[in-house]
Amino acid sequence: MAKARQSRESLGYKELKAELRSGQCRNLYVLYGEETFLIDKLTDGLTEMLISPGCLSLDRVIIDVGGQPAKLNLDQLKAEILTPPFMSQRKLVIVRQSGWLSAGGGRSSSQSAESDAQESSEDETADSDGSSTPSAQKNRQEALGKLLEKLPDSVCLVMIETKVDRRLKQLVNLIEQKGVLAEIGREQAKTLQAWIDAECRRRNISIDPAAAESLIDRCDSGMQVIWQELNKLFLYCAFTDCHKVDLQLIAEISLPDLRGNIFDMTDALSEGLTERALILVDTLISQKQPVQLIQFMLARHIRQLICAAELGRPDKIASDLKVMPFVANRLANQARRFSLPVLEALYARCFEMDLLVKTGQLSDRLALETLLISAASQSQGKKQVRH
């Protein structure tokens, strides 16, 4: 039994896709993780396998809860599960973002941030119906467990979550016994490069390795965004009869190289070049990059530089930070231009500026510019002391 459970836990996208291709289908799938593109591919595969032509509206049901657990009606879910398919092999019930598999209620951080203001005005309602209390969450999870124990063979239930709390051992064990619990995370850089190359070759297009690397980095390794950019690229190539994609073409028609600009900005900071750093900010804003995103990317970049300074070797940086090899090399080189105390001070300064923005003491752009001026001045001061 232990070996079987270990095997189930190790299932990922490739293994599940292979099962579908061989005609094997489980009664229960719980899929979670960052790579929603691959999760959607699996649900598309299940739809193609299970639902007869013309029966999509009858035999497939999608319940999107939006990360608000109290909005999932258990009686409705139970009724959908127990209702047999009309003409298909099985009925496919897809539940998105139920939050029932998270000990904290199931909202993602972005959903929490977006709805904090709304929740503050609804506290009394939430307390009165008990929907957000720990006991209500526990009751929901117990009810879900009872439902999963009696899944009929006529249904395939797919639950798609942002995250699953594996400390809910009883529920997790039940899911692994009845079906599949799989985390679908970001693919490795080599896998993404092979995928991009294959999609290009299918359309009689060749792509330089450096261009593929740049595309992956611009899209932050997210397959959904990469696919959108590839479709844009394919349309351009079809219209212009282009069969060769290089780095220059990616720079011209793909997303702005936000990470590259952040690298250049940090180089300017290390040299004390305040004006250069501010010009780069203006460039990013002119490209309609949100100031908050620039702030976030800069803070993340400084954190990665701290990690790079501690890890040292580029291969170790690439492995631990899950970045492209050329990004790891650049992080390693740039980390040597700062002392660790300076990087840690800059990281703390990012949080200070973020707090000033959130408390309304500074505008987001003024906070970013103040951070850059302060960082460049600090670096310039260090250089003068060394001289």
User: For the segment 102-122, what is each residue's pLDDT rounded down to a tens digit?
Assistant: 765 444 433 433 334 343 343
Interatomic CA distance for residues 53 and 62, integer angstroms: 17
Q: Which of 104-113, 127-136, 197-206, 268-277 has the highest mean pLDDT?
A: 197-206
Q: Does residue 382 have a pLDDT over 50?
A: yes
Q: Which of 55-59, 285-289, 363-367 has the highest mean pLDDT?
A: 55-59
How buried is residue 154: exposed, middle or buried, by Cβ count under 10 Å (0-12/13-18/19+)? middle
Q: How many structural domains is the chain composed of? A: 3
Q: Same domain for 152 and 196?
A: no
Q: Same domain for 114 and 202?
A: no
**What is residue 131's predicted lDDT score, i.e. its pLDDT?**
53
**What is residue 95's predicted lDDT score, i.e. its pLDDT?**
93
Interatomic CA distance for residues 345 and 353, integer angstroms: 12
Q: Which amino acid is at 340?
A: L
Closest listed residue to residue 347, CA positions, set 289, 290, 318, 308: 308
Q: At what angle do helices 325-335 and 209-218 cross, to 10 degrees?
A: 70
Q: Tell me the CATH number at 174.
A: 3.40.50.300
Interatomic CA distance for residues 1 and 44, integer angstroms: 31
Domain stop point among 183, 204, 227: 183
Q: Same domain for 94 and 231?
A: no
Q: Same domain for 107 and 221?
A: no
Interatomic CA distance for residues 331 and 325, integer angstroms: 10
**What is residue 182's predicted lDDT score, i.e. its pLDDT?**
92
Q: Tell me the CATH number at 360.
A: 1.20.272.10
Q: Tell me the CATH number at 234.
A: 1.10.8.60
Where do the H-state alpha helices sit in 271-290? 274-286
Per residue in 56-80, pLDDT (tens digit) is: 999 999 999 887 877 888 888 899 9
- The pTM (predicted TM-score) of the whole model is 0.73
Closest listed residue to residue 261, CA positions, set 332, 362, 330, 187: 330
Q: Same domain for 166 and 217?
A: no
pLDDT > 70 in the chain, percent: 87
Q: Same domain for 376 and 270?
A: yes
Q: Same domain for 306 and 381?
A: yes
**What is residue 6's predicted lDDT score, i.e. its pLDDT?**
42
DSSP per position, 183-237: E--PPPHHHHHHHHHHHHHHTT-EE-HHHHHHHHHHTTT-HHHHHHHHHHHHHHH
Q: Same domain for 167 and 210?
A: no
User: In which order are the strands placed within the sheet that holds 91-96?
Assistant: 60-64, 91-96, 155-161, 28-32, 180-183
Domain stop point among 217, 238, 253: 253
**Cα-flanking dihedrals φ and ψ of residue 247, to 5°?**
-65, -35
Interatomic CA distance for residues 65 and 54, integer angstroms: 26
Q: Same domain for 173 and 247?
A: no
**What is residue 379's predicted lDDT score, i.e. its pLDDT?**
62
Per residue in 23-51, pLDDT (tens digit) is: 999 999 999 988 999 999 999 999 999 99
Q: Same domain for 228 and 299?
A: no
Q: Same domain for 246 and 366?
A: no
Interatomic CA distance for residues 103 and 172, integer angstroms: 12
- State CA 81 to chain mean position distance: 30
Print the domain residue range for 341.
258-386
Domain stop point among 236, 253, 270: 253
- CA angle (70, 72, 77) in 5-degree steps: 150
Q: Same domain for 21 and 161?
A: yes
